[in-house]
Amino acid sequence: MKNSALSSDRKEAREYQTTSSGLFFKAKKVLFEKKSAFQKIEIIENDFYGRVLFLDGLVQTTEKDEFFYHEMLVHPALGCLPHPEKVLIIGGGDGGALREVLKHPVRKAWLVEIDQEVIRACERYFPWLEAALSDPRAELAIADGFDFIQKTSERFEAIIVDSSDPVGPSAILHARDFYSKLKKVLKPGGVIVAQAGSQLLHLKEHGQKARFLKKMFRYSSFYSAPVPTYPVGTWCYTFLSDRVDPLKVKKLRVPGGLKYFNEEIFRASFAQPAFFQQALRSSK
């Protein structure tokens, strides 16, 4: 939970505050504001971070630092797979994850986003989304990710869960039931990666997740990386597979032109600080 909100007392000054990290985003211009059926969508222009997307007051993406998050969400999974043909992205309406997936020689990538209004707004203000969606390998489904996986007859080599925090429509995407259904649409040998939250602020949730995930998957690890505008700055992801042990991957496939991800970063990202290891141990 990023616990951020447009602080009402500062509304006139148009400062968007991330209370848990203390970050303020001063809006040079408010580009978009709309309440959709699912959430409040806001896009502002900030001097330093460029365009910033908020959903229900929580920062999701900024032009300046989105590459940390999107590269670390996508390339660890796809880089480990020799032939990732079919890839499913759940959430991810800002399009950054889809853009990164399409850097791999995949045959097809589905973007399953619940909120058509997020897609409309991001197509207008984050041009990489329109470019990614016009790739013939991309298919957009406006649907609840949970319903989609229950109905689809497709099976995927890689599944990327680019959900928001576990509140509102995303809450379901963090639950045990969702992961057990997700496993049913994963091909044997496939990999699931999901964004898992702040390394420091969500320790309790990481412990709870780790407990059920390790019963479901032979390999279930957390990895982490910085995202400067997310609370506390270090973000966690889960890597899940029955066949791919990320710590023993010999050949990692890294597309050219990335800004953050490389082989050294991949290997280092599975190292965890003592307080995190301790939290996982004590949740057993």
The answer to whether the Cα torsion of 177, 113, 164, 58 is positive or negative is: negative
Nearest by Cα to 129 from 104, 87, 102, 94: 94
As annotated, the active-site residues are 162
The least CB distance from residue 148 to ligand SAM, in Å, is 7
What is the per-residue binding string for ligand SAM in 54-73, x denoting contact by CB under 6 A?
A: -x----xx-------x----
Instruction: Identify which range of 16-24, 167-175, 182-190, 273-281 contacts ligand SAM by CB under 6 A.
Output: 167-175
CA distance 53 to 42: 6
Instruction: Identify which range of 78-86, 88-96, 133-141, 269-277 contacts ligand SAM by CB under 6 A.
Output: 88-96
Any contact of residue 95 with ligand SAM (CB under 6 A)? Answer: no
- For residue 73 the two structure tokens come to 């969400």
Amino acid identity, residue 201?
A: L
Any contact of residue 185 with ligand SAM (CB under 6 A)? Answer: no
Nearer to ligand SAM, 18 or 221 (CB): 18
User: Which residue in the shown chain puts its C-beta closest to ligand SAM?
Assistant: 91
* 8 A C-beta contact, residue 140 and residue 133: yes
User: H/E element holding 207?
Assistant: helix 203-216
The least CB distance from residue 211 to ligand SAM, in Å, is 22
The answer to whether the Cα torsion of 236, 241, 246, 252 is positive or negative is: negative
User: H/E element holding 33?
Assistant: strand 29-35
What is the per-residue binding string for ligand SAM in 21-50, x denoting contact by CB under 6 A?
A: -----------------x------------
Instruction: Identify which range of 25-33, 85-93, 203-211, 269-277 contacts ligand SAM by CB under 6 A.
Output: 85-93
Q: CA distances (Å), 53 to each of 93, 118, 213, in order?
A: 11, 9, 30
Binding residues vs ligand SAM (CB under 6 A): 38, 55, 60-61, 69, 90-94, 112-115, 118, 144-146, 162-164, 169-170, 172-173, 195
